[in-house]
Structure formats: structure tokens, C-alpha cells
Amino acid sequence: MTIQFKLHNIVKRYQEREVLNIDRLEIANGKIYTILGPNGSGKTTLLRILALLLINDQGNLEVLGEKVNWSKSQLLRLRRQMSMVTQTSYMFQGSVNYNVAYGLRKRKIPEREIKRRLQEVLEMLGMTAYQEADARTLSGGERQKTAIARALVVKPQVLFLDEPTSNIDMASAAEIEKHILKINKSWGTTIIMVTHNLFQARRLADELIFLHEGHIIEKGSMEEVFNQPGDERTAAFLRGETVF
Amino acid sequence: METILQGIKEGIYLILQMDAEVVQVTLLSLQVSLSALVLSALIGIPAGAASALKKFPGKRLLLNIVYTLMGLPPVLAGLLVYLLLTYRGPLGRYELLFTPAAMIIAQVLLATPIIWGLTARAVMTLEQNVYDTAVTLGASRRQASFTLVREARNGIIAALTTAFGRVIAEVGAVMLVGGNIRWATRVLTTSIVLETRTGNFSTALALGMILLTISFLVNLIIIMLEKRTFRYDNTIQIT
């Protein structure tokens, strides 16, 4: 087991307001991490810093064994080992094929290889019938599947998911959860997911991270946290009380 | 009313007749304005994208100036180019005044701010998640910038058609720097002025019809090229 992310004393502010303050956090490879917490607790900010989309104001960040210095070349090298799916995925103008091949084309992969990998991932997600369809006319569930396909086709070491199923129906969400589990198990991809859905966290997560007002108030394995929450606020959250 | 009908009749006749001078004037109009459009696009699209995406001091001021220049009066553009190219002007030794090259330069001055400004607007209306999506899928900064321009292309095509409409139809600048010289720098708009001044209203109207027709055809080509390249239209369904 290797540590893929090391955070030490990470602080992020918007103007004067401190939105994230993480004393220490380590994320190991191959597991599914779920970041939970109420609105405004800093979940998305944390995810965006890990995905190198947002620069921390303070502290040390290590990603995939490198101390992050935010240089152009380092950013590109690290980002190319990760990918992301968000709540409302932006579809580039064009077909499903265009969207799914996007990351491969930017990596200058040969066309033949692109075709092969496109086919592989679209078959896995059951999207082959939609290949030529305009990505913007798809239903919410199909859009999210397209977003997952284009994030997976680049074979990332780390996949970030920011509430990937919160805008789609339960059946589609269940299907997407199935794929998340599958690629974690078969490819060993580390998955770092923000969710509001406790049940989803319970179904998927190996590790839970609870955020409250920018601080981690609890972290540990899913079993541990669900069975014996160490913090009263976490316990209340898990009981379904809205104390936050 | 009679003059207008007469003009339309004569216009159709002129087009069918393929009069050598009319053909030459039409082709020169197209040559000048299309060259100006291409040059302005080469300057305006990258400049517009860069000024939308980069943070730098004076950005607001720069964009404000560009937006102002979108309304630059053609005669004023013509005057500036005239002063640059006149025999005693800073670029006088190139002897460009009263040539199609001078007309192209003047039209570039008119079209570039339009393409620049409208491209900047189109790129700035894109949301952060377009860029984020590109880089999280592995695009470099440069590749992501190209993606942003691609995603803003509807606005950029609007910029190109607006700019073309402006330069093909303007008369003040080409008149000043071209001089409306027969067989040399006479274009459709300057011919219309000349024919009107000499009382040949129906010929002037006929030339106007040709002007509208080529404008229509150029726009048609732009739209068809777009459709062929991208296939998917973004028409909003009104129900």
C-alpha cells in the first residue's frame, strides 16, 4: 500500500473566510474514500485541491509521491494520472465518441488505440448504442455514464467523483455505483468521492472522511465510523439528525 | 417605386449579362473583404481568447477600448490608414495608398475589434467547469484553451459573420484609401456611390442587389462549413 495524497496543514481561504483547514490527511491507493459533511463544510474545496484544480493558501501537499509545486509541467504530469466526474458534467459540443475520446486525443494516443479503448469502455458501460449521438441530447443518466466513460478511458490511478449520482434517478445511480465498485476492484483505481448520500457512502466506501466547517472531525474505515463514531456530530449525522 | 422595380430588373439583367466591369468590381469586393476577414480572424480570435482567459493589469480597460473600436466609423479608419500610407506618412515608402492592399488594411482595422471583442465575450460566457472538465481529462493549459475556443465557436461564428457584413458593406474607408479608381480599386459600395451621384439609380440598385447576394452566399458558406464540421446544431426547441 502506498500513500497517494499527503496533506499537512492545508488551509484555503476565500477572501477572509477560511473554508478549509486540514491538519493532516493521508490517502492510500486502491481504496474508495467518501467525503461526507453538510453544505459548506469544504468537501468540494478539498476535492478540488486534491485534483489540483485549486491552489491551497498554506501547507504542504504531496500527490502521487511528488511535492506539489504547481509548475505547469508537474501539473500536467500529475493531472494525467487522475480524472474527475462532477455532479452536472459538462458535455463538449459533439458526439458521445468525441467526448469519450477527448482525454486520449489530448494525450496524443494513436487513433487505432483510441478506437479500441473507446469500444472497450463504451461496451463496459452499455453505451455503444449512443456512440454517434449528440452528447447534449442525452438524458441525465446517460450523460453521467458518458462522463464516467471519458474519465475511465484514460485509465486513471485516481478517480474523483463529486456527487456523481445526485442528479439522476435511482436505477441509473445504482448502475453507476456498480461500475464504480467494479473499476475499483478490477483496476485498483483509487476513488475519492464527495456525496450527500449516507446510504451510498455505506454501499461504496472503504474509508470515510467527515468534514465540518472546513475541519476533519472524523475519519476511519466505514465499519469503524458507522459502528462507533468518535465525534458526537458524526454520530448525530449518522442517526439522521440534522445537527449541522 | 418605379425606380426600385427598374433597378431590380436591371440588376437581374446585369447579373445574367456578366458584364466584365461588374464582374471585376464584384470579385475585387470579395477579394478585399475576404482577405480582410481572414487577417482579422487570425488576429482577433487569438487576441480575443487570450484577453478573455488571461489575467493582466488593464484587462478591463483593454476590453473597453476594443468594444469601443467595434463602432469605429469607417471614414475614421480610412483616414488613419490614409495618414499612415500617404507619401509623407510613416509607411509612405511602400506606396500602398490607392491599392487594394490599402483597402484591406483599412478593413482589417474595422473587422479586428469586432472579432476580438465578440470572441472575448463568447469565451467569457463559458463557465469554469468547461475548463475544469478539459484539464481533469488531461488537457494541457494550451489544449484546454483551444477547447474553450471550440466550445465558444457559436459566438465566434457570429463574430465572423458580423465582421464580414461590416467590411463588405462599408464605403467610407475603401473610398478614402482606395480612391474608387476604375479597374483598380473600385468595389461594389464605391460604385454604388458613384452611380447614385451620377443619377444612375437603377444601376446603383442593381449593384446593391449583387452586394446583398454575395453577402448572402458568403454567410451561407460559413454556416454550411460549420454544419459540415460539427454536424450537431444547437437550435433551441421552442414548443
The ipTM (two decimal places) reads 0.92
Tell me what pLDDT residue A244 has.
45
Residues of B with CB under 8 A from a CB of A: 127, 129-130, 132-141, 143, 147, 150-151, 153, 230, 232, 234
Asked whether the predicted pLDDT for residue B194 surpasses 90, the reply is: yes
Q: What is the pLDDT of residues A127-148, one digit of tens each?
A: 999 999 999 999 988 999 999 9
Q: Which one has a higher pLDDT value, A141 or B75?
A: B75
The nearest CA of chain B is from the CA of A120 a distance in Å of 18
Mean pLDDT over residues A105-114, rounded? 97
Asked whether the predicted pLDDT for residue B10 surpasses 60, the reply is: yes
Mean pLDDT over residues B38-47, rounded? 97
Q: Which residues of A touch B147 (CB under 8 A)?
A: 92
C-beta of residue B147 within 8 angstroms of C-beta of residue A105: no
Tell me what pLDDT residue B234 has.
63
Residue B102 DSSP code: H
Contact B136 A107 (CB under 8 A): no
- A92 contact B CB<8A: yes
- Kindly state the cell numbers that stand for B136: 481533469
Q: What is the pLDDT of residues B200-234, one digit of tens each?
A: 888 898 899 999 999 999 999 888 887 766 666 66
Nearest of B42, B33, B168 to residue B105 by alpha carbon: B33
Tell me what pLDDT residue B216 has.
93
Q: Quick one: what percent of chain A has pLDDT higher than 70?
A: 98
Q: Which residues of B touch A86 (CB under 8 A)?
A: 129, 132-133
> Pick from A95, A103, A136: which is nearest to B137 by CB?
A103
- A89 contact B CB<8A: yes
C-beta of residue B185 within 8 angstroms of C-beta of residue B178: yes
- A53 contact B CB<8A: yes
Tell me what pLDDT residue B18 has.
84
* Unique residue bearing C-alpha cell 468540494: A44
Asked whether the predicted pLDDT for residue B43 surpasses 60, the reply is: yes
Asked whether the predicted pLDDT for residue B53 surpasses 70, the reply is: yes
Residue of B nearest to A48 (CA): B132
CA distance B132 to A86: 10
C-beta of residue A148 within 8 angstroms of C-beta of residue A178: no
Nearest of A196, A189, A193 to residue A207 by alpha carbon: A193
Q: Which residues of A touch B130 (CB under 8 A)?
A: 90
Contact A106 B151 (CB under 8 A): no
pLDDT interval class at A241 (50, 70, 90)? low
pLDDT interval class at A243 (50, 70, 90)? very low
- Kindly state the cell numbers that stand for A129: 448504442
CA distance A244 to A42: 13
Please report the beta strands in B32-190, taking only residues with DSSP state E, as ranges in sequence order.
Answer: none
Q: What is the pLDDT of residues A4-34, one digit of tens each?
A: 999 999 999 998 899 999 999 999 999 999 9
Q: What is the pLDDT of residues A174-204, one digit of tens each?
A: 988 999 999 999 999 999 999 888 888 889 9
Q: Which residues of A touch B131 (CB under 8 A)?
A: none
Contact B234 A93 (CB under 8 A): yes
Residue of B nearest to A93 (CA): B151
Q: What is the pLDDT of residues A75-88, one digit of tens each?
A: 999 999 999 999 88
The nearest CA of chain B is from the CA of A91 a distance in Å of 8
Tell me what pLDDT residue A143 has.
93
Q: Annotate chain A with three-state secondary structure.
A: CCEEEEEEEEEEEECCEEEEEEEEEEEECCCEEEEECCCCCCHHHHHHHHCCCCCCCEEEEEECCEECCCCHHHHHHHHCCEEEECCCCCCCCCEHHHHHHHHHHHCCCCHHHHHHHHHHHHHHCCCHHHCCCEHHHCCHHHHHHHHHHHHHCCCCCEEEEECCCCCCCHHHHHHHHHHHHHHHHHHCCEEEEECCCHHHHHHHCCEEEEEECCEEEEEEEHHHHHHCCCCHHHHHHHHCCCCC
Contact A154 B138 (CB under 8 A): yes
Q: What is the pLDDT of residues B123-145, one digit of tens each?
A: 999 999 999 999 999 999 999 99
